[in-house]
Amino acid sequence: MNRNSDTRLILPFLEGFYERFAQPLAFFGLRVTVGALLIVEGWPKIKAPYAMAGFTESIGLYPGWFWSALLAVMQFTGGLLILAGFLTRPAALANGLMLAVTFWFHWTHPYGDLALTPSGMSAAQALGQTLLTEDGLRNLAADGGAMFLHQVQFKAEGLSALWTVAALFLAAFGAGPLSVDRTILKREF
């Protein structure tokens, strides 16, 4: 990123450090993180590309089999492209829009109390030795799981929002200097 000529640094001697080291490394770290997470999240969908057909139809995307497979390929392949820094902007834009829908879904469809059914609580307590610590089980039982549910919902919304913004940032600003786009192609989409 080129600094705006109107912007002056408080410590001007750091300009070279920012432009030659910090910014390239920040772009690289963000791109690798977003790409790797998309690959990890997309791999199970690639293995079962039609598994999300019912879900995609439930949010209005018909036919579900088509959208489920398309989203699986988009997420996994987009993750590979972003990770490599190749065609980063279109891959990040497509995935950023998909992640925005994910955020919208978590925001408008909270987990709610139905996630804390008596049978679910019993299962959590039965699996307590491998799933939860003793303190975790006590806390879960003390408030009926309300705090746990709040944390799960907060993470679903918060991580979806953060991931959406990160992908859209890469769509807007590109892969950064340490990428196939800029080092081999010498151009960006």
pTM: 0.83
What count of other Cβ atoms lies within 10 Å of the Cβ of residue 44?
A: 12
pLDDT, average across residues 125-137: 65
| Per-residue CA distances from 180 to 22, 79, 83, 129, 186 (Å) | 19, 14, 10, 47, 8
What count of other Cβ atoms lies within 10 Å of the Cβ of residue 58?
A: 12
In sequence order, the 6+-apart residues with CB closer than 8 A to the CB of 96 are 164, 167, 168, 170, 171
pLDDT at position 123 is 66
pLDDT, average across residues 49-69: 94
Answer yes or no: is pLDDT of 57 > 90. Answer: yes
Tens digits of residue pLDDT in 152-183: 889 889 999 999 999 999 999 999 999 999 99
* Token digits of residue 61: 């995307």
Distance CA 181, CA 117 (A): 50
| Per-residue CA distances from 137 to 127, 152, 153 (Å) | 10, 16, 19
Q: Could you tell me the pLDDT band of residue 121, with boundaries at 50, 70 and 90?
A: low
Answer yes or no: is pLDDT of 131 > 90. Answer: no
Answer yes or no: is pLDDT of 129 > 60. Answer: no
**What is the helix (H) or strand (E) element at residue 152, kind and residue range?**
helix 146-173
pLDDT, average across residues 137-160: 81
In sequence order, the 6+-apart residues with CB closer than 8 A to the CB of 175 are 27, 31, 82, 85, 86, 88, 89, 181, 182, 188
- Of 35-49, 81-95, 111-125, 172-186, the poorest mean pLDDT is in 111-125
79 by Cβ neighbours in 10 Å (0-12 / 13-18 / 19+) ranks as buried
SS3 178: coil
